Amino acid sequence: MLRLEKEGEGEEEDEDEDEEEKEETAKGMTTPTQGGKRVKRVRDAPPPPPPPPPPPPPASSLEEPANMNLGFFTTEIRNIVRTHLPVCYKKWMKVPSSEKRTLRNKLLVLFVVDLSHSKIIEYVDKKMAKLYSVFRNLLYKYCLSCGTPARGRAILPNDWIWNGRPKSHWNGTPAR
């Protein structure tokens, strides 16, 4: 409803209403039309934008296997390194490339791997190097617990460390 009033008539009524509102506010009461600036700002603000969509899952690249097989792939590399590589080499860099190639080819029994691609070979070699180093450290700790390497060779370590290797893996050329 729109009320038209003459200029002098409505001012007295407005002043009376303002005084009543001030008295109620002073008593702690608020009028239903009263609202703070923040309430108005929040009420009048546009709705927030929708959240961004989640990123797509990473696509399998040539550098590493798909996520679902990664754990199995690494475990099998560990088993191959522990089972087939002699421990007479101090570092992975000292292992001849022919033995590294043989170990890589053993992966083809379980996995479809393109061993002609250089990045895949780098990835597999990096994993084998790390796992060989871990294996050597476990054997070193075992030999320290036995006292001497000769005593360690006489009493073979647990199968979880040694993986059931023949005793000939201890022998061979001296550690380089």
pTM for the model: 0.53
The per-residue pLDDT for 130 is 92
Domain boundaries, the chain: 70-169
Amino acid 9 reads E
* 78 vs 147: CA distance, rounded Å: 27
Which sign does the torsion angle of CA 127, 133, 137, 142 carry?
positive
User: How distant is the alpha carbon of residue 82 from its chain centre?
Assistant: 26
C-alpha 68/C-alpha 105 separation (Å) is: 22
Per-residue pLDDT tens for 113-167?
Answer: 888 888 888 888 999 999 999 888 888 888 788 887 778 777 766 665 566 565 5
Question: Cα 149 from chain centroid?
Answer: 39
Pick the residue with more confidence: 128 or 172?
128
Using CB atoms within 10 A of its CB, is residue 86 exposed (0-12), middle (13-18) or buried (19+)?
A: middle
Eight-state DSSP code of residue 2: -
Nearest one of 78, 69, 106 to 163, comparing CA atoms: 78
Instruction: Tokens for 166, please give them.
Output: 């023949």
Contacts of 131 (CB under 8 A, 6+ apart): 74, 77, 78, 81, 82
Check: CB of residue 114 under 8 Å from CB of residue 124.
no
Q: How far apart are CA 169 and CA 161, in angstroms?
A: 13
Which is more confidently placed, 95 or 171?
Answer: 95
Q: 21 with 31: CB under 8 angstroms?
A: yes
Checking if the pLDDT of 22 tops 70, the result is no
Query: According to the model, what pLDDT value does residue 37 have?
Result: 77
Nearest to 141 by CA among 120, 160, 159, 161: 161
Check pLDDT > 80 for residue 33.
no
